[in-house]
Amino acid sequence: MNKHKYENIAMILEDQIKGKVLLPGDKLPSLRRLCTDHDISQSTALSVYDLLQAGGYAESRDRSGYFVSRLSGRIAALPFSSQPAGKESAQNLDKLAEEIFSTAGTGHIKFSYGAPSSKLLPVARLNKELVKAARNLESGGTAYTETQGNEKLRRQVIRHAPHLGSLKPDDLITTSGCNNALALALMATTSPGDRVGVESPYYFGLSGLARSLGIKLVELPCHALTGPDLEMLECILQKRQLQAIIVVSNFSNPMGGLMPPANKEHLVKLIERFQIPLIEDDIYGDIYFGKQRPDTCKSYDSSGLVLLCSSFTKTIAPGYRVGWIAPGKFREKVLQLKLSFMVCSASLTEEAIAGFMETSYYQKHLKQLRQTLYANYLQYSDVIGRYFPEGTRLSQPQGGLFLWVEFDSEINTLQLFKQAIRLGISIAPGQLFTREKQFSNCMRLNFGLPWNPQLEQALKTIGHLAKMLGKTTNKLNN
Amino acid sequence: MNKHKYENIAMILEDQIKGKVLLPGDKLPSLRRLCTDHDISQSTALSVYDLLQAGGYAESRDRSGYFVSRLSGRIAALPFSSQPAGKESAQNLDKLAEEIFSTAGTGHIKFSYGAPSSKLLPVARLNKELVKAARNLESGGTAYTETQGNEKLRRQVIRHAPHLGSLKPDDLITTSGCNNALALALMATTSPGDRVGVESPYYFGLSGLARSLGIKLVELPCHALTGPDLEMLECILQKRQLQAIIVVSNFSNPMGGLMPPANKEHLVKLIERFQIPLIEDDIYGDIYFGKQRPDTCKSYDSSGLVLLCSSFTKTIAPGYRVGWIAPGKFREKVLQLKLSFMVCSASLTEEAIAGFMETSYYQKHLKQLRQTLYANYLQYSDVIGRYFPEGTRLSQPQGGLFLWVEFDSEINTLQLFKQAIRLGISIAPGQLFTREKQFSNCMRLNFGLPWNPQLEQALKTIGHLAKMLGKTTNKLNN
């Protein structure tokens, strides 16, 4: 069978990597260079790197180009698109989530946790800001405030967010964390019985929310690197089967996908064409490993159909419960819902975060957090490459908090969870992130924990347990 | 027409009051004394005082007996039961509420406000507790906490609440204020299309909540003094027309009714018989003017059908957004809903309030707040008696924050609102508290504002405006 031209070019580069001509971390030729050297189009050049990334040989860094993967030759990247079949498994996701999170005691190493460790957070500075907030706010923060939320906070969000396009502080409404923003967005845009598209795998918190609101989640095929498969999505939309869509556009949870700007623009055009709202969860957007913050679908939105949700849970303080939503044309409805469900926000924590964002430490903190997380990601990948079973595949997130691990199909991560929890280690099994029968050999690992010998040992232990599980299953099958 | 015996006895006492034999504030004969003196039953004696109260001649003080009303001879008490007819008016309550609360600027005198002024709140002590909380909490309060909420706070609630019967800290779940507790309770017990009974008039915040959840509110006839008319309620329940009931059992909003213990017990038996949940809002229960804190329906609940909701909004800090719910048999469902809608509470404000409740200042503060509010109530009543139009009727709350004023029918309080707001005074017109065509000549006044000459003047101004409105309408009608 004849190979495509891009496959041949990829093969040349793969050989150079395997032959150590190119070493892990080395910069690979730019797209332009590849086009000139091989007389190919830009899209063919992109295909070359897609293939190399899928094989685990290359990794892209936003706006810096492509590099030889530090994992090359040891562990493969996730090559696949998820292919949800629309068949639900019988398991109760909420129960599973409760079991998994309630069994993790305070002394446990929580790879299953959904936020950075507070050791990576600016705790001392926040305490200072809290004291200032109690002093600055009228009545020390004891009085009701405007339902829309702290004005200073809304201003600071806009100030630090060039990726939000032309949004103004008045376009934002504060919420009690991002989950609460998603809840308000769903209530404002859907009715019981509606079908809402989500990525597959998806953030399991949406499951209980959907059930409470009587809506049905429909899992959409996704690419590990670039998020929702837009061609497939268009087919589904043409059948008029969805009333809304939720995406984590930047560094999705759990797979880590990053929608390229062109995909974001395309997605917005799609939802405008079919006139359905897009709920965009950008909670990880500030934790990018590349040079520049990725943009949002919202920045391509001129119709007001995009409801952008975010919070400070992944960057400043999960326990403060401060988030926000830019609800577009659903502004009045969301405001009314917030009034009905909670009257207004707690003013102290909003003011404290706004105060922190006014200082120069905010950007310094974000920069440091990103560096720490990127270093952790590399450390994790290194240990996983050396200690996890052969055949393990690993996501290559360009930001966020999570690694997605895919074992060979015989390794069941729910069993792995049960064994690991006895040793004081908790992981998030893949089944948490789907209502279908898939991902039973996958797991999500949080790399937002401080790197130390104990953590390294815990990772090795997971690898060891997975190897044992693989062997047991193989024996049973033979 | 022959008078009933109780009417004759009431007439004797009324004459003594009118003839200044008994002076305002004098103690009236005890129920037992009345029985012995007139050879009547206890229930006939109660009817005597009901009649005197309705005429504005007597007022009851919890466990202290009856006294000559300080308003006697000047202004009448509310004599009526509300009689909602089940016919909805066309007005949009949410819009009206928004209009009324958005027009009140910061410099305004807000009789419309729904919480005590922060001048009556322990702001300095809370600030101290906040600093302590940031120091005490793991990670300075930046980390996620248990969904059920701060354990210390749940313990303190139980410690200070003998009226909660046998409840334990584990029976409580913290919420983001009482409104949020009501929202969770409604979501846990109802489905879209359900009909939920509420007092008439009722707290307008329920209106937006009901609309968001797709449930219909049904107004129940209520007595100004004792809350829901339980005989009427039984008829409605027999027709199986309600799927849940919400009551403010102590010092209702806006009319100020206090359900007697026997009524609470009766109501719990009713809902048990018909197996429908009772959502009890006890947010004002700690602000009693009598000797003892009133009890709750929850304390009579053995079936788990009562969901008790409360918060610290009316006693400590509206802006902290800290409340709780004791959801009875709906505990798991409420916990799941809280997890889905907000993951967990903000830990700092919960810890600060718990810290404050651990100190001896909590009870001292409550005592002082009650004294201030009672003194204010008397001041308000005095000014209203002297400056409001003839024919004005006034509630006689035994606690809480609100006076309910009923003018003669030609005085429209929406017009009054519009005139007063131009003078920097905001009131809450009666139409806010009903979906039916009633209460257009009523208004709610918050007496939780610090008493001073400016406030007194503002009250007089309302009286003056009401008199002018009455005259204009009379002229137009002649």
Q: Is residue B333 part of a domain?
A: yes
**Which of A342, A350, A432 is most worth mutating to test chain B (most B CB atoms within 10 A of its CB)?**
A342
Instruction: Please check whether residue B176 is in contact with residue B323, taking contact to mean a CB–CB distance below 8 angstroms.
Output: yes
**Which residue in the block uniquely carries the two structure tokens 């919960």?**
B350
Q: Do B127 and A144 touch (CB under 8 A)?
A: no
Residues B462, B437 within the same domain:
yes
Q: Are A423 and A326 contained in the same domain?
A: no
- Distance of residue A408 Cα from the nearest chain B Cα, in angstroms: 32
Shared domain for A210 and A347, answered yes or no, is yes
Residue A265 exposed, middle or buried by CB count within 10 Å (0-12, 13-18, 19+): middle
Whole-Å CA distances, A472 to A415, A421, A466, A476, B124: 12, 19, 10, 6, 64
Give yes or no: residues B38 and B100 share one domain. no
Which domain CATH number covers B63?
A: 1.10.10.10
Question: Smallest Cβ distance to A321: which of B177, B211, B346?
Answer: B346
Q: Kindly state the average pLDDT of the residues A226-252.
A: 94
Task: Supply the DSSP string of B133-156, one letter for each residue.
Answer: HHHHSGGGGTS---TT--HHHHHH
Whether B107 shows a pLDDT value over 60: the answer reads: yes
Domain identity same for A380 and A341: no
Question: Which residue of B lies nearest to A136 if distances are taken between CA atoms?
Answer: B127
Does residue B262 share a domain with residue B382? no
List, in order, residues 6 or more apart from A427 with CB less than 8 Å away: A111, A112, A413, A416, A417, A420, A443, A444, A445, A462
Task: Band the pLDDT of B476: cuts 50, 70, 90.
Answer: low
With respect to residue B104, please indicate whether it lies within any of the assigned structural domains. Answer: yes
Query: Which residues of chain A does B138 touch, with a Cβ-Cβ cutoff of 8 Å?
Result: 118
Q: Is A294 within the bounds of a domain?
A: yes
- What is the distance between the alpha carbons of residues A312 and A160, in angstroms, rounded to a whole number? 13
A149: region left, alpha or beta (phi > 0 left; psi from -120 to 50 alpha): left
Rounded CA-CA distance A130/A324 in Å is 19
Residue B273 lies in a domain: yes
Confidence of residue A369 (pLDDT cuts 50, 70, 90): very high
Q: Quick one: tokens of B370? A: 């009650």
Exposed / middle / buried, residue A90 (Cβ in 10 Å: 0-12, 13-18, 19+): exposed
Contact call for residues B162 and B360 (beta carbons, < 8 A) = no
- Are the Cβ atoms of B341 and A209 closer than 8 angstroms? yes
Residue A426 and residue A108 in contact, taking contact as beta carbons nearer than 8 Å: yes
Q: Are B335 and B349 in contact (CB under 8 A)?
A: no
Of residues B265, B252, B270, B251, the one with CA closest to residue B206: B252
Tally C-beta pairs within 8 A across A and B.
175
Chain A residues with beta carbon closer than 8 angstroms to that of B107:
none
How close is the nearest chain B Cα to the Cα of A445, in Å? 18
Mean pLDDT of B21-38: 86
Claim to verify: residue A330 and residue A230 sit in the same structural domain:
yes
Q: What mean pLDDT is predicted for residues A323-344?
A: 95
Q: Which residue has the higher pLDDT, A286 or B75?
A: A286
Strand partners, B281: B309
Q: What is the CATH number of the domain that holds A459?
A: 3.90.1150.10
Question: Residue A445 pLDDT > 80, yes or no?
Answer: yes
What is the tens place of the pLDDT at every residue in A41-75? 988 898 888 888 777 788 887 677 888 887 655 56
CA distance linking residue A20 with residue A11, whole number of Å: 14
- Same domain for A48 and A190? no
Does the pLDDT value for residue B377 go beyond 90?
Answer: yes
Residue B212 and residue A337 in contact, taking contact as beta carbons nearer than 8 Å = yes
Q: How confident is the model at residue B345 (pLDDT cuts 50, 70, 90)?
A: very high
What is the pLDDT at residue B466?
96
CA distance A55 to chain B (A): 37
Q: Do A205 and B340 touch (CB under 8 A)?
A: yes
| A117-126, A269-278, B234-243, B466-475, range with the lowest pLDDT | B466-475
Q: Which of B449, B473, B469, B470 is nearest to B459 (CA)?
A: B449
Whole-number pLDDT of residue A200: 93
Partners of residue B189 in chain A, C-beta under 8 Å: none
- pLDDT of A212 > 80? The answer is yes
Q: Which of A372, A337, A364, A303 is nearest to A117 (CA)?
A: A372
- Nearest chain B CA: its distance from A295 CA (Å): 26
Residue of A nearest to B145 (CA): A319
Q: Is A226 exposed, middle or buried (0-12, 13-18, 19+ CB in 10 A)?
A: middle
Chain A: closest CA distance from residue B456 (Å): 23
Q: Is residue A88 part of a domain?
A: no
pLDDT tier, B350 (very low <50, low <70, confident <90, very high otherwise): very high
Residue of chain A whose alpha carbon sits nearest to that of B117: A143
The pLDDT value recorded for residue A425 is 95
- The stretch B363-385 carries a mean pLDDT of 94
Residues of B within 8 A of A318 (CB-CB) are 142-144
DSSP letter for each residue of A343-367: SS--HHHHHHHHHHHHSTHHHHHHH
Contacts of A192 in chain B (CB under 8 A): 192, 214
Q: In A239-302, which ranges are continuous DSSP H helix?
A: 261-274
Mean pLDDT, chain A, whole residue set:
90
Q: Is a pLDDT exceeding 90 seen at residue A305? A: yes
- Taking residues A177-202, what's their average pLDDT? 96
Taking contacts as CB-CB distances below 8 angstroms, the residues of chain A near B341 are 179-180, 183, 209, 212, 341
Closest-CA distance of chain A to residue B368, Å: 18
Picking from A144, A151, A189 by the largest number of B CB atoms within 10 A of its own CB, the best residue to mutate is: A144
Residue type, position B398, single letter: Q
A340 contact residues in B (CB cutoff 8 A): 179, 183, 205, 208-209, 211-212
Q: Which DSSP symbol is given to B443?
A: E
Distance CA A243, CA A256 (A): 25
CA pair distance B61, A115, nearest whole angstrom = 54
- Mean pLDDT, range B131-137, rounded to an integer: 93
Which CATH number do you get for residue B161?
3.40.640.10
Give helix then strand counts, H and E, for chain B: 15, 18
A197, A218 Cβ separation under 8 angstroms: yes
As a whole number, mean pLDDT of residues B342-357 equals 94
Q: Do B343 and A138 touch (CB under 8 A)?
A: no
Arithmetic mean of pLDDT, B182-208? 95
Are residues A330 and A378 part of one domain? no
Q: Do B179 and A342 touch (CB under 8 A)?
A: yes
Q: How far is B118 from chain A (nearest CA, A)?
A: 6
d(CA A182, CA B22): 63
* A393–chain B nearest CA distance, Å: 31
Chain B hits for A322, CB-CB cut-off 8 Å, are 346
For residue B140, list chain A residues with Cβ-Cβ distance below 8 A. Answer: 118, 123-124, 126-127
The answer to whether residue A124 is domain-embedded is no
Query: Would you place residue A158 in the very low, low, confident or very high pLDDT band (cuts 50, 70, 90)?
Result: very high
Q: Which of A341, A340, A361 is nearest to A352 (CA)?
A: A361
The residue of chain A nearest to residue B177, with distances taken between CA atoms, is A342
Nearest Cβ partner of B94 from A127, A177, A336?
A: A336
Find the residue in B nearest to A320 (Cα).
Answer: B346
- Quickly state the pLDDT bin for A368 (edges 50, 70, 90): very high
What are the distances in angstroms from CA A374 to CA B26, B96, B198?
78, 52, 55
Q: Residues with Cβ < 8 Å from A254, sequence gap 6 or more?
A: A201, A203, A402, A404, A428, A430, A433, A444
- B212 vs A321: CB contact, 8 Å cut-off? no
Residues B223 and B355 in one domain: yes
Q: Which of B130, B321, B322 lies at the smallest CB-CB distance from A345? A: B321
Q: Choose among A192, A208, A322: nearest Cβ to B340.
A: A208
Contact A121 B139 (CB under 8 A): yes
Between A36-40, A112-116, A473-477, B98-102, the lowest mean confidence (pLDDT) is in: A473-477
Beta-carbon separation of B343 and A337 below 8 A: no
What integer pLDDT is reported at residue A69 of this predicted model?
80
Q: Which of B115, B127, B135 sits opposite A140 (nearest CB)?
A: B127
C-alpha A405/C-alpha A395 separation (Å) is 7
pLDDT at A80: 63
**pLDDT, tens only, A423-438:** 999 999 999 999 888 8
Confidence of residue B434 (pLDDT cuts 50, 70, 90): very high
pLDDT at residue number A436: 87
Question: Is B80 a member of any domain?
Answer: no
Q: Which residue of A has its CA nearest to B184?
A: A341
User: Which is nearest to A323 in space by CA: A340, A311, A331?
Assistant: A311
CA-to-CA distance for B215 and B204, rounded, in angstroms? Answer: 15
Give this complex's ipTM: 0.84
Based on the domain organization, do A350 and A381 belong to the same domain? no
| Element (DSSP H or E) covering residue A109 | strand A109-110
Instruction: Report d(CA B389, CA B385) in Å as an integer.
Output: 9
- Average pLDDT of the residues of chain B: 90
Mark whether B374 and B420 lie in a shared domain: yes
Does residue A105 belong to any structural domain of this protein? yes
Give the tens place of pLDDT for each residue, B247-270. Answer: 999 999 999 999 999 999 999 999
Looking at the complex, report in whole angstroms how far the Cα of residue B211 sits from the nearest Cα belonging to chain A. Answer: 9
- Residues from chain B that touch A312, judged by Cβ atoms under 8 A, are none
Q: Strand B244-247 and strand A222-223: pairing? A: unpaired
Please state the domain count of chain A. Answer: 3
Domain, as residue range, for A16: 5-73
Q: So what's the pLDDT on residue B282?
A: 97
Dihedral sign from CA coordinates of B310, B311, B313, B315:
positive
Query: Cα–chain-centroid distance for residue B31?
Result: 27
Query: Residue B359: what pLDDT?
Result: 95
DSSP annotation of A81 reads: B
pLDDT above 80: residue A372: yes
At B96, list the tokens: 């009206």
Residue B374 has pLDDT above 90, yes or no: yes
Can you tell me the mean pLDDT for B185-196? 96
Interchain CB distance below 8 Å, A139 and B118:
yes
Closest residue to A134, CB basis, from B127, B214, B316: B127
Chain A residues in contact with B319 by the CB 8 A cut-off are: 137, 139, 141-145, 344, 346-348
Option in A131, A176, A320 nearest B342 (CB): A176
> Which among B183, B212, B342 has CB closest to A321?
B342
Tell me what percent of the residues of chain B surpass a pLDDT of 90: 66
pLDDT at B323 over 70: yes
> Three-class SS of residue A383?
helix
- Mark yes or no for CB contact A142/B118 under 8 Å: yes
- Chain B residue at shortest CA distance from A116: B143
